[in-house]
């Protein structure tokens, strides 16, 4: 065993780690993008049919599929250029050193307290609201075009922003850490065909930002006062206050804390 051998092993390990990281981030972003999921399913289906055609000696089908496999990647790049660009942008916006600010337990409790106070007020008074909380993927693309605020998070400030006569009422608010960064933000709406047609622009915008980033989007319906949360590419609609609060608390926890809790639960289960 010499230094060259050790360096060779470390290089191979590093090479494998980089490949797995690339696959992880690509699959993570594909999972949250409906059109990219459809592309992935189509590619898998073509490969399965190609394998079957080779096994069953289906010459004509095999030749057609060979042309499809040869020219398919170029066609996918041309046809689905916007979706591919969206995935690459999401990768580029990921902050390698984590979220804008890692909140302490006390800071998280205060954030949840202030948000819940404002949400209860907005719900009871049928005032629509869209509150987006940044996590690891930067939302700078939306922040730069919005009205900057940079103020401490408080229920009174949120209520003022979303007051019906406020010029910022129709847009969304972005929270970084425990501060309101901007208001009047316009998000791209989701193109998911499975979302109910009864849901309005706020819910579609919430799902849209949850599909292209890891942000938490909180929605108060102006028409019904119902509460919803969009995260990880899914919309959790019509939550009661307790469900809304508990889900918000869980989603605000740093990943390391979630992993530690999972390990503790597994240890307790083994002891029993």
Encode pLDDT of 178-197 as tens digits.
999 999 999 999 888 888 88
Residues 186 and 84 in one domain: no
Residue 99's pLDDT is what? Answer: 43
The CATH number linked to 216 is 3.40.1700.10
Residue 37 has pLDDT above 90, yes or no: no
Residues 76 and 109 in one domain: no
CA angle 57, 62, 63 (to 5 degrees): 130
Residue 130 has pLDDT above 80, yes or no: yes
For residue 253, the Cα-to-chain-centroid distance in whole angstroms is: 15
* 262 or 205, greater pLDDT: 205
Least-confidence region, from 37-41, 167-171, 206-210, 266-270: 266-270
Mean pLDDT of the chain: 82
Range of the domain at 227: 105-257
- Specify if 265 maps to a domain: no
Residues 181 and 232 in one domain: yes
Instruction: Give buried/exposed letters for 196-222 (b at 16+ CB in 10 A, else e).
Output: eeebeebbbbbbbbbbbbbbbbbbbbb
Rounded to an integer, the average pLDDT of 51-58 is: 83
Spatial distance between the Cα atoms of 107 and 102, rounded to a whole number of angstroms: 9
- With H, G, I as helix, E, B as strand and everything else as coil, classify residue 226: coil
**Confidence class for position 256, pLDDT limits 50, 70, 90:** low
- Specify if 99 maps to a domain: no
Residue 202 has pLDDT above 90, yes or no: yes
Residues 51 and 146 in one domain: no
- Specify if 100 maps to a domain: no
Residues 47 and 158 in one domain: no
Spatial distance between the Cα atoms of 231 and 25, rounded to a whole number of angstroms: 17
Residues 83 and 138 in one domain: no
Residues 165 and 241 in one domain: yes
- Specify if 154 maps to a domain: yes
Rounded to an integer, the average pLDDT of 23-33 is: 64
Residues 116 and 195 in one domain: yes
Torsion of CA 119, 121, 124, 130, to 10 degrees: -40
Residues 69 and 197 in one domain: no
Residues 120 and 228 in one domain: yes
Spatial distance between the Cα atoms of 212 and 82, rounded to a whole number of angstroms: 12
* 91 or 222, greater pLDDT: 222
Residues 86 and 128 in one domain: no
- Specify if 165 maps to a domain: yes
Residues 133 and 191 in one domain: yes
**Confidence class for position 80, pLDDT limits 50, 70, 90:** low
The pLDDT tens digits for 89-116 are: 655 555 444 444 577 888 999 999 999 9
């Amino acid at each position: 065993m010499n230094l060259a051998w050790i360096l060779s092993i470390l290089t191979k390990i590093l090479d494998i780690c980089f490949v797995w990281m690339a696959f992880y981030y690509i699959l993570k972003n594909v999972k949250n993008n409906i059109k990219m999921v459809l592309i992935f399913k189509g590619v898998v289906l073509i490969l399965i049919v190609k394998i079957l055609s080779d096994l069953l000696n289906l010459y004509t089908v095999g030749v057609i599929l060979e042309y499809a496999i040869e020219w398919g990647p170029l066609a996918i790049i041309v046809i689905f250029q916007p979706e591919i660009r969206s995935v690459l942008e999401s990768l580029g916006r990921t902050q390698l050193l984590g979220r804008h600010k890692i909140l302490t337990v006390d800071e998280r409790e205060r954030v949840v307290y202030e948000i819940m106070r404002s949400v209860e007020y907005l719900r009871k008074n049928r005032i629509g609201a869209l509150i987006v909380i940044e996590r690891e993927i930067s939302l700078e693309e939306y922040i730069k075009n919005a009205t900057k605020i940079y103020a401490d998070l408080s229920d009174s400030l949120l209520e003022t922003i979303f007051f019906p006569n406020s010029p910022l009422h129709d847009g969304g608010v972005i929270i970084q850490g425990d501060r309101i960064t901007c208001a009047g933000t316009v998000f791209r709406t989701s193109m998911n065909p499975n979302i109910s047609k009864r849901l309005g622009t706020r819910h579609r915008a919430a799902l849209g930002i949850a599909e292209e980033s890891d942000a938490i989007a909180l929605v108060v319906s102006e028409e019904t006062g119902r509460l919803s949360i969009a995260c990880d590419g899914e919309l959790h609609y019509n939550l009661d206050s307790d469900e809304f609060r508990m889900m918000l608390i869980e989603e605000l926890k740093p990943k390391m804390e979630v992993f530690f809790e999972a390990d503790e639960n597994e240890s307790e289960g083994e002891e029993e």
